Amino acid sequence: MDGMTTFTSDKEPLQEILKDAAVGEIQLPEFQRPWVWDDAHICSLLASVSLSYPIGAVMMLENGNPEVRFKPRPVKGIELQREIEPERFILDGQQRLTALFQALFLRRAVTTRDARKREIKRWYCIDMCKALDANWDREDAIISLPEDKRIRNFRNEILEDYSTPDAEYQHDLFPLNCVFDCADWRTAYNMYWNYASEKTKLFDQFDRNVIKRFEQYMVPVIKLLKNTPKVAVCQVFEKVNTGGVSLTVFELVTATFAADGYNLREDWEGKLDNRGQKVAEGRKDVLIRQRVLRSVGADELLQAVTLLATYERKHTDTEAPVSCKRNDILKLSLGEYKKWVNPATSGFLKAGKLLFQQKLFSNRDVPYGTQVVPLSGILTLLGDRADNDTIREKLIRWFWCGVFGELYGSTVETRFARDVLDVLTWIAGGEDPKTVGDCNFAPARLYTLRTRNSAAYKGLYALLMRDRCLDFRTGEPVEIGTYFEDSIDIHHIFPRGWCRRQGVEARYYDSIVNKTALSYRTNRIISGNAPSVYLRILRERTGMSEDRQDDILASHVIDADALKRDDFWGFFEARKEALLVRIEKATGKAIGREIQEDQDTGTQEPDDDEEIHEDDQLLDLHRMP
């Protein structure tokens, strides 16, 4: 065999695969999620096999590679008397093989689910007469019986009773868990009918047309050989496992650590008792207490741990790269994980605190969730030095350069590692990090920032809140309303309805230049009215002085005079410049003012989280409570 070959492809008898699973020669790796198929899927699968229809290929991994060690788990329904090291692991096909094993091999009812996802227990049989009648669809011949084999109506009255062998024989109902060993059932069936020739012929025909199809059914099997690298196992599994739960790097590391007796999932999710009640918190519980960290998952924690572990390796081997790519995570040893996981967890908590100080209050507000990973690693390695004001200012500048340079949108793992090294070198007196150098905000970008799907869009409003922009109506800092969930969101300054009536194009009125953070009640007052109208109403309703209102507008970097004159273009140009100044201050980078407008003139409706209440017809504001 070619030494570069990592897999073989062949066909194997279904019966032999299920027999190997029954004795533990074929098992599941621990990362596989539980079997979840419902009753309808099982019936459909059994019908396909009974007709020799293809059910798809199965992928298995040959056991024996010392670098790919997984804790094995038997197929559901199999109870091994002792731990057995399997010859092969099922990577793809768990649902199909488990369904077939339970329906065809078990001598007890199959635990599955109904259409409402309620747990039920079922026996699977096949109506021999229907199976041999071409006028019947094969799925209609597959019979799913309750655990007591009695079919009832909605009043719980028994309509059909198949609970005894004689009832099976009488109704020509063959139990599919006898399909690979039907001699005893066949003998009893013939005895029940006193060896009547028509029944003998019926079973002979059923044997030829149905049972033999099960006995001779061949399954395409792709076998990954033991020389397959661990990272390839992970990548291959993700590509083929489209019908199940995608394998993440966390799942694969969980299986690897389980072989050494360590429960990584329990460390992350917490410990449950026999009743499924949590008795000990996991790291996930600790992190999600900070709303801003609720998007941090197990994979992100592993990335941070790997960054720290590879950074440490570099001290003993200067050629060793600092990295957290998938292959690096898969090489992480259990010892390294145990050493760095607590510091990494603390690093995320410190990162959450820093983000909170930048007025990012929830994970939905964070411009780039990915940027939190290197931030946590940097804070971990800095330790108490991160509290130094000068160092913190550099960290904040690096963060905003990543946001407004829009540098964390793709291929981020390489930037993670480079930023950890660059920022630490920068803090020690070295050159600016590449992320700072790469940051280049184009003024024309302001025209295309229209929803919070953009990192720079979210970043700008965090900056405004950080610098204490005030609500138009209450005069309170918008950040207070955000923190206490006072329905603060991003809304238009010149209302969309007004802009449409004045012939202003959507690319201008829907851009970030014409939006700011306001409470829901304030936005209701604004409605579709001209600014001069709603500003007057706000003063009348609140008793606010015009000078105070001007101060509030200034906190949003809004030219009050232009707004009071309903001068959209004067307002627009002034605010565009003010927003660019804010970005320059945050990033420490000068922005050229030669704006080439984006030619995209299409409208873009606001997303769900910035719905606005403004119709083309004006509301009677004086009647509002």
Surface-to-core class of residue 490, CB atoms within 10 Å of its CB (0-12 exposed, 13-18 middle, 19+ buried) = buried
Please check the confidence at residue 242 and state whether its pLDDT lies above 70.
no
Q: What is the mean pLDDT of residues 196-207?
A: 96
At 420, which amino acid appears? V
pLDDT of residue 234: 65
Confidence class for position 483, pLDDT limits 50, 70, 90: very low
Please check the confidence at residue 104 and state whether its pLDDT lies above 60.
yes
Surface-to-core class of residue 180, CB atoms within 10 Å of its CB (0-12 exposed, 13-18 middle, 19+ buried) = middle
Between CA 509 and CA 413 the distance in angstroms is 37
List, in order, residues 6 or more apart from 567 with CB less than 8 Å away: 561
- The string of DSSP codes covering 12-54 is EEHHHHHHHHHTTSEEEETTSPPP---HHHHHHHHHHHHTT--
pLDDT tens, residue by residue, 427-465: 999 999 999 999 999 999 999 998 878 899 999 988 888
Please identify which residue in the block is written with the tokens 């991003």: 490
Confidence class for position 611, pLDDT limits 50, 70, 90: very low
pLDDT of residue 621: 35
Between CA 188 and CA 443 the distance in angstroms is 85
Confidence class for position 235, pLDDT limits 50, 70, 90: low
pLDDT of residue 596: 57
pLDDT of residue 170: 96
Between CA 439 and CA 158 the distance in angstroms is 74
Confidence class for position 194, pLDDT limits 50, 70, 90: very high
Q: What is the mean pLDDT of residues 206-210?
A: 96
Say how many CA atoms lie within 13 Å of 394 toward its Cβ.
Answer: 22
pLDDT of residue 92: 85
Q: What is the mean pLDDT of residues 131-137?
A: 93
Residue 538 parent element (H or E): helix 531-542
pLDDT tens, residue by residue, 155-172: 888 899 999 999 999 999
Q: Which residue has the higher pLDDT, 561 or 68?
A: 561
Q: Which two tokens stand for residue 514?
A: 């014409």
3-state secondary structure of 179: coil
Q: Which residue has the higher pLDDT, 43 or 526?
A: 43
Confidence class for position 4, pLDDT limits 50, 70, 90: low
User: What are the percentages of helix, strand and coil residues in the chain, rounded to 5?
Assistant: 50, 10, 35
Q: Which of 618, 611, 617, 605 is nearest to 525 (CA)?
A: 618
Least confident window among 8-17, 271-280, 434-443: 271-280
Surface-to-core class of residue 101, CB atoms within 10 Å of its CB (0-12 exposed, 13-18 middle, 19+ buried) = buried
pLDDT of residue 15: 97
Between CA 590 and CA 575 the distance in angstroms is 17
* Helix 298-316, helix 372-382: angle, nearest 10: 50
Say how many CA atoms lie within 13 Å of 142 toward its Cβ.
Answer: 24
Q: What is the mean pLDDT of residues 275-295?
A: 91
Other C-beta atoms lying within 10 Å of the C-beta of residue 118: 8
pLDDT tens, residue by residue, 461-476: 888 888 888 888 888 8
Strand partners, 11: 220
Please check the confidence at residue 382 and state whether its pLDDT lies above 90.
yes
- The string of DSSP codes covering 312-347 is HHHHH-TTSPP--SHHHHHT--HHHHHHHHHHHHHH
Please check the confidence at residue 601 and state whether its pLDDT lies above 50.
no
Between CA 619 and CA 623 the distance in angstroms is 9
Sign of CA dihedral 551, 612, 581, 396: positive
Q: Which of 482, 488, 492 is nearest to 512 (CA)?
A: 492
pLDDT of residue 488: 63
Alpha helices in 126-164 (DSSP H): 128-132, 138-141
Q: What is the mean pLDDT of residues 89-113?
A: 92
pLDDT of residue 410: 75
pLDDT of residue 31: 64
pLDDT tens, residue by residue, 350-377: 999 999 999 898 898 899 999 999 999 9
Annotate 51-81 with b (16+ C-beta within 10 A) or e (fewer): eeeebeebbbbbbebeebbbbbbbbbbbeee
Is residue 67 within 8 Å of 231, Cβ to Cβ?
no
Q: Which of 503, 541, 520, 531 is nearest to 623 (CA)?
A: 541
pLDDT of residue 240: 57
Is residue 466 within 8 Å of 617, Cβ to Cβ?
no
Q: Which residue has the higher pLDDT, 91 or 555?
A: 555
For the chain, how many helices (H) and strands (E)? 30, 16
At 517, which amino acid appears? A
Between CA 6 and CA 28 the distance in angstroms is 20
Average pLDDT, the chain: 87
Is residue 515 within 8 Å of 491, Cβ to Cβ?
yes
pLDDT of residue 367: 93
Please identify which residue in the block is written with the tokens 């410049």: 577
pLDDT of residue 256: 81
Q: Which residue has the higher pLDDT, 410 or 2?
A: 410
pLDDT tens, residue by residue, 50-63: 999 999 999 899 99
Confidence class for position 622, pLDDT limits 50, 70, 90: very low
Please identify which residue in the block is written with the tokens 């200034």: 554
Between CA 337 and CA 315 the distance in angstroms is 18
Please check the confidence at residue 409 and state whether its pLDDT lies above 70.
yes
Say how many CA atoms lie within 13 Å of 345 toward its Cβ.
Answer: 17
pLDDT of residue 231: 67
